[in-house]
Every structure is written in structure tokens, then in C-alpha cells.
Amino acid sequence: MHDDISAYERQGFGATMAPKPPYGLLIVDLVNGFADPAVFGGGNIAPAIAQTTHLLAHARSQGWPVAHSRIVFADDDADHNIFTLKVPGMLTLKEAHPNSAIVPELTPAAGELVVRKTVPSAFFGTGLAAWLSQRGVQTLLVAGAVTSGCVRASVVDAMQYGFRPLVVSDCVGDRAIGPHEANLFDMRQKYATVLTREEAVRATLA
């Protein structure tokens, strides 16, 4: 093990955080624009969407609260922000634009929350934390895109709001594999449990 990696174990990072019911599922920004490599997609996002369809079916079968997030800016760009200075193309994600629509295979069902946001975190400036708390969620499974951006920001905020984040490693994706792997490592060390979909299903049925 490289010395810089072994330092995490030596300093006490990466402790076990067992999933604790009740469970909820957050699907971050799996919209058409992030599914399309010509827009904001690429990397391993397509396989993550395919795996998330199975995770969503499991969550629904178990009656978990399910929330989805979308990036949506005002038609006149009145809510432009620092995020859009760094990534100007985000301003193309409007309420009625197809790129901002959740991919068809993950279409929200009745009773599932759809969070509209203009920053990476699905929690910042939204009612998501209160919605999950009202439903008693203790452990929040997280899927979506991208691992190094909106997923990570949402996981950190989930932890800060007192939820136990469980990042489902094959249900999150990024346009580049290096940032995806680095951020899974970092979230595992500091903020979340990281499991594959099969492992997560087994853990939540235990």
C-alpha cells in the first residue's frame, strides 16, 4: 500500500458505518443531458443508469421514499450563479428542455419527490432534508451523476444533515473514470458507506 494511502488507515479514516433502517433512495441528476456523451455525459454514466433501474425497482418494492434531482434554471437565466460561471452550459438546462428531463427508464412514480436545483447538492436550498426526515429515513442510498460533482456534494450534505449515506458504486457514474474512482475512495474514507448494488440490496435486507 502506498504511504499516502496507508495514512488514511493509520489516522483512523474509513471506519465501518453499518446501514440502519429506515432506508431511502436519492437519484441525482440522471437526466437526458447527463446520459448523452455529446452534452454532459460519457465515461461510465450509461452503465450506472442501467444498474440504477434495478436499484429503483428494489426501492419501490420495499416501499422506500424515493427522491430524484434535476438541474433546472429559469428560462431568462435570472438565477444564474457561480456554478454557471464555471460550467456555462448548465444554463441550457431549462424546465422544458429535453436535456433536463429525467431519463425515461427512471421516470418518477407518483409520490416520489423531484427536486429542482441550480447547484451541485440536491440538499442546498431545497426541501429534500425535511422530506426525508419526515419519512424517518436513517440511511440514504445514493445513485446518479456525476460521482465527482453532484453526487459527492449531495453525499457530503446528506452526512451533514445526519443521514447515513450509502453510495451505490455501480449506480453512480462520471464522464471520466479517474475522478469517479478517486471520489468513491474519498467518500468511503470520510462520508459514506460504499457498496455495489448487489451488496447494498443484501445489506438492506439483512
Q: Where does residue 12 fall: left (phi above 0), alpha (psi -120 to 50 degrees), or beta otherwise?
A: left
Taking each helix axis from N to C end, the angle separating 197-205 and 45-62, rounded to the nearest 10 degrees, works out to 10
- CA distances (Å), origin 177, targets 60, 87, 117, 120, 183: 29, 20, 25, 19, 10
**39 prior amide bond cis, ω within 30:** no
Residue with cell 439483512: 206
Residues involved in catalysis: 150
Name the 3-class secondary structure at 122. coil
- Among the listed residues 85, 101, 91, 88, the one whose alpha carbon sits nearest the alpha carbon of residue 30: 101
Cis bond before residue 22 (omega within 30° of 0): yes
